[in-house]
Amino acid sequence: MITFSIKNLRISLTFGFFLVLSLSGLGGMGGQSLLFCAAHELGHLFAMYLFGVSVSAVRFYGAGIAIFADGVSELSKPKRAAVYLSGPLVNLLLAAVTCESARAVNLSLFMLNILPISYFDGGKLLGLALGKKSSAAKIISAICCAAVGAAAVYALVRAGDALEPRALLTVGFIAMAYFLDN
């Protein structure tokens, strides 16, 4: 793991991050995806800054980017919702103002992150609305994860030799995120 600090902010880059980065490729869509993922996280960081939340660390790892902040849980529900929505809304805004390939990447990031799976922003919003440990939130999250898995299996069967390796990485990421969070 590579760790460094900028002022009081600790930034870590793990082996898993570099592995996923190398598998997705930096050229073309892989580079755009990384750039727009960073913009997504900057949206969260900006909202936290506006609400006076102190960010202590940012970790880039195989399952994405994690922000460690003190004080998010003390925010009111509307402010927490704004923090959770700020990242996906950045992707939606970027989709509206960028070219076609960048639009597709940003819409994909928006849709992925708004899924009501506990690990993602949509799951955090669902937990905020229903209670993080509520049975209903857990069931909705599990059903959504199963539906994404079923759609992936269907796409795998339909695609045959034309399957895009990044599609497998995305589905693997969703499954890993779900199981890491539960």
Q: What are phi and psi of 119, to 5 degrees?
A: -70, -35
Q: How far apart are CA 68 and CA 22, in angstroms?
A: 25
pTM for this one? 0.80
How does pLDDT run across 63-114, given as a tens digit for each residue? 678 899 988 989 999 999 999 999 999 999 999 998 888 898 899 889 989 9
Number of domains in the chain: 2
Note down the domain range covering 134: 116-182
What is the pLDDT at residue 122?
95
100 and 137 belong to one structural domain: no
Model pLDDT, residue 47: 96
- 99 Cβ contact list (under 8 Å, min separation 6): none
Boundary of a domain, candidates 91, 114, 137? 114
* Same domain flag for 4 and 59: yes
* Residues 56, 136 within the same domain: no
Q: Rounded to 5 degrees, what are φ and ψ at 70?
A: -100, 125
For the segment 39-60, what is each residue's pLDDT rounded down to a tens digit? 999 999 999 999 999 999 998 8
49 and 137 assigned to the same domain: no
Q: Compute the distance between CA of residue 83 and CA of residue 75 in angstroms, rounded to an integer.
A: 10
**Is 160 found in the same domain as 129?**
yes
Torsion of the alpha carbons at 56, 61, 149 and 116, rounded to the nearest 10:
10
